Amino acid sequence: MTETTLAEALEAEHHEIDQGIYAFLNGDADGLERLHAVFAELRRHIYLEEVYLFPPLREAGMMAPVFVMLREHGEMWQVLDEIDAALAVNPAPSSSAAELCRDLLTRLDAHNSKEEPILYPELRGILSDSAAEQYLAFLEDGERPDGWVCERASAGAAAAPPWG
């Protein structure tokens, strides 16, 4: 039996987030509830990367790729806030929130297509086994601290909606 690596778990979480957004866009019965859950998951995912994974990657010389990821996190965080505001007005999948969700999916695809092949493979050589195990455990049941926002979120960004 092979154990899941941190990189594999992070990539799997990327797919879960995408699937949750698609569930909302497809009008699935639990789509709105699932959307709220994956937004909380995405915010927690960004927290893990920015607080625990990016610092050792920067120290290992990956400053430029980390800078790009931080900028894109800030842009996605802003879109998440915009979607939350749109959902408060109209939670239907045919609303303006749906267009913003499609924009977020495009951003996630571009972001993940860089992050997965460039940064994630470096984690194995940079993190100790115990640190990787700790971060894997965080993916299972960790929580983003209340009020934490990503480094490049706009100054006026909301801390988080009540569900995430």
> Where residue 60 sits, what CATH number does that domain have?
1.20.120.520
CB 10 within 8 A of CB 45: yes
Q: Has residue 7 got a pLDDT over 60?
A: yes
Gap between the Cα atoms of 38 and 45, Å rounded:
10
Q: Would 153 be classed as within a structural domain?
A: no
Number of structural domains the chain divides into: 1
Q: Would 163 be classed as within a structural domain?
A: no
Q: Would 146 be classed as within a structural domain?
A: no
Q: Would 120 be classed as within a structural domain?
A: yes
Question: Which tokens sit at 96?
Answer: 């303006």
Q: Would 151 be classed as within a structural domain?
A: no
Burial zone of 116 (CB within 10 Å; 0-12 exposed, 13-18 middle, 19+ buried) = middle
Q: Which residue intervals of the chain are DSSP H helices? A: 6-25, 31-48, 54-59, 63-89, 96-114, 120-126, 129-141
Q: State residue 93's pLDDT score.
A: 76
Single-letter code of the amino acid located at 78: Q
Neighbours of 93 (CB within 10 A): 17
Q: Would 156 be classed as within a structural domain?
A: no
pTM exceeding 0.75 = yes
Single-letter code of the amino acid located at 20: G
**Average per-residue pLDDT for the chain:** 91
pLDDT top residue among 102 and 2: 102
Q: Has residue 1 got a pLDDT over 50?
A: no
Q: Would 149 be classed as within a structural domain?
A: no
Domain interval for residue 93: 6-141
Q: Would 155 be classed as within a structural domain?
A: no
What contacts 4, CB < 8 A, 6 or more positions away?
A: 12, 136
Gap between the Cα atoms of 43 and 55, Å rounded:
18
Q: pLDDT per residue over 13-65, tens digit each?
A: 999 999 999 999 999 999 999 999 999 999 999 999 999 999 999 999 999 99
User: For residue 142, what is the enclosing H or E element?
Assistant: none
Q: Has residue 142 got a pLDDT over 90?
A: yes
Which range, 71-75, 93-97, 154-158, has the best average confidence (pLDDT)? Answer: 71-75
Q: Residue 146: helix, strand or coil by DSSP?
A: coil
Q: Has residue 102 got a pLDDT over 90?
A: yes
